[in-house]
A and B are shown apart, each in its own frame.
Chain A
Amino acid sequence: EAGVVQSPRYKIIEKKQPVAFWCNPISGHNTLYWYLQNLGQGPELLIRYENEEAVDDSQLPKDRFSAERLKGVDSTLKIQPAELGDSAVYLCASSLGASGSSYNEQFFGPGTRLTVL
């Protein structure tokens, strides 16, 4: 079974440029998460989707960040314009939705490492 797929794996851009990250979750997983992981820290949630609905985006900096999950499957996270402080790893994760699962096991992709120069 394929895991969570993310692309690109690495991205280097200059500040003020736009950038986009793509995530394809595990088939059948209704819940999708985007996390930000700064160097030497644990991941922090940016946004959580239930199918195509963003149900928790309180930590997403909406002045420059946006995300979409139009058909409730794959998702795109965008930054425009990028700032130096956005350099980090962007992780996508997915989990089963309303399946009766009693715990929240999330499966993570390998991440996209963004460097803003």
Chain B
Amino acid sequence: AQSVTQLDSHVSVSEGTPVLLRCNYSSSYSPSLFWYVQHPNKGLQLLLKYTSAATLVKGINGFEAEFKKSETSFHLTKPSAHMSDAAEYFCVVSPGRRRALTFGSGTRLQVQP
């Protein structure tokens, strides 16, 4: 079985400041981990993925995440927030290829001007 816990339901930052969205996972397998973003009234979009290659994963729009097995964490970061980053972010775990994704409960990111 696998699960993810997103430690913050809501994060607010000022434009130009760093973003940190926290995620811890639990998996019986060697997991694949993902971050998805959901803008209002739009479909979920993949930001980045970890699939047992490099532990520091770079994604789109300047986001990156680091897989830390010892801490069972996969936190999402961005050095400088932009207004367009305001959205809902989901940490996701999958036990393997073509299997269903298990989503966290989401973190809503607000970016203040």
- List A residues at the B interface (Cβ < 8 Å): 3-4, 31, 33, 40-45, 48, 50, 56, 91, 93, 95, 97-98, 101-111
Contacts and interface: CB of A to CB of B under 8 A. Distances in A.
B82 interface: no
Q: Interface on chain A toward B: helix, strand, loop, or mixed SS?
A: loop
A104 B98 contact: yes
Interface residues of B, number: 24
A50 B98 CA distance: 9
Q: Interface on chain B toward A: helix, strand, loop, or mixed SS?
A: loop
A111 B43 contact: yes
A106 B92 CA distance: 11
Interface of B: 32, 34, 36, 41-46, 49, 51, 90, 92, 94, 96-101, 103-106
Contacts of B97: 101-104
Contacts of A95: 98
A42 B90 contact: yes
A50 B99 CA distance: 10
B87 to A, nearest CB: 14
A98 B97 CA distance: 9
B98 A31 contact: yes
A105 B48 CA distance: 10
Contact of B32 (A41, A44, A93, A103): A103
A42 B43 contact: no
